[in-house]
Amino acid sequence: MHTFEHMRLHPERPQIRQIKHAAKLLHDGCFAVVPTETTYAIMVLPTALKAQESIHQLRNLDEQHLWSLVVSDLSQAAQFVSINNAAHRILKHNLPGPYTFILPANSKLPKRIFGKRKDVGIRMPDHAVCNMLLQEVGEPLLATSMQFPDEDFIATDPESIEPRIKHLNAVLLDAGWGDMTPTTVVDLCDDVPQVLRQGLGEWEA
């Protein structure tokens, strides 16, 4: 049986009942379209293989697609990445916020999803809906941006996203229009932080 729900939430004070239901749908194998302080993102549990297949087809992604890991706190991130003292200071100073930090992967990073990757992007959004969902789910989620393969820009309007995903096992967490500016991507794998993409987050090295 297929499950699709379009939930309308208050962007700053979402109802916990709705968040709990969305977390249950994720645990049941759905993917979620989730607002962040930058763009809408597609999020899914690492164990939800069918949902990941649906996302690959929806976005026309190849098997080498680079997922990010979305976490609610640094202890969740530390399950999958190595964080030295210098990186820890940078993360504490900038997160939660509109950044993706590339960090060295540790041995627990799921090989089935990430292959032989030596690093992974970590994201800790600053958005009430996303934060409450992560806390309710209780574990990191895989994430990729909400962009359709035939469109040049990331989708910002939940009303236009719905018709394209309502045939799938998914939940759309609608907190109004999203932003179009992506995160700032900073590589922390070497001694000196390297900005790979300038996005919404301001960065001063």
Its pTM surpasses 0.75: yes
Mean pLDDT of 12-41: 97
Q: pLDDT for 160-191, tens place per residue? A: 999 999 999 999 999 999 999 999 999 999 99
Residue 174: CATH number of its domain:
3.90.870.10
Report if residue 188 sits inside a domain: yes
The predicted pLDDT at position 40 comes to 97
Question: Reduced to 3 DSSP states, what percent helix, strand and coil does the chain have, rounded to the nearest 5?
Answer: 30, 25, 50
Cis, peptide link before residue 96, omega less than 30° from 0: yes
Report if residue 180 sits inside a domain: yes
Report if residue 205 sits inside a domain: no
Report if residue 204 sits inside a domain: no
Q: pLDDT for 56-67, tens place per residue? A: 999 999 888 889
Number of domains in the chain: 1
Expressed as residue numbers, the domain containing 56 is: 4-197
Report if residue 154 sits inside a domain: yes
Q: 3-state class of 182 per DSSP?
A: coil
Report if residue 170 sits inside a domain: yes
Under 8 Å CB-to-CB from 153, ≥6 apart: which residues?
147, 180
CA distances from 20 to 14, 15, 130, 135, 136 (A): 11, 9, 12, 10, 6
Q: Place 205 in a pLDDT band, splitting at 50, 70 and 90.
A: low
Summary mean pLDDT of the chain = 95
